[in-house]
Amino acid sequence: MNIALIAHDSKKQEMIAFVKKHEEFFKQHTLFATGTTGLKIMENTDLMIHRCLSGPYGGDQQIGGYVGEGKMDFVIFFRDPLTAQPHEPDINALMRVCDVHQVPLASHQKTAEFIIKTLESEGK
């Protein structure tokens, strides 16, 4: 299963903690991330991540392209709905392509937890 990880700047530490909590799950899958998020996760875990461009340079759009090509199975995008900065990725286009291709997208920790538990119960 291919899983993408994206986080706004103010959510990067939350993403790191989340991935560390579920590191055994993530070890079983192929991971992709926007550049800075991927680097920070790799610095704090034993996971290998295929790093796309950083969000401000189009990494979220690269991941959206993978979704459109049928190469992404699950997207986790921890976004800051209140204080996201103009240079940070916009979830709207990514959400649209995920909806079109019926790829689950979790925009916060509770949804991501629910999807992971569901996948684990299905043996994925």
pLDDT in tens, 102-123: 999 999 999 999 999 999 999 8
What confidence score (pLDDT) does residue 73 get?
97
What domains does the chain contain, in order, with CATH numbers?
2-121 (3.40.50.1380)
pTM value is: 0.94
Write phi, then psi, for 90 (nearest 5 degrees).
-100, 130
Q: Annotation-wise, does 12 bind a ligand?
A: yes
pLDDT in tens, 62-85: 999 999 999 999 999 999 888 767
* Cα–chain center distance at 122: 20
* Bridge partner residues of 33 (DSSP): 5, 51
Return the active site residues.
60
Coil, strand or helix at 93: helix
Q: Annotation-wise, does 108 bind a ligand?
A: no
Q: Annotation-wise, does 118 bind a ligand?
A: no
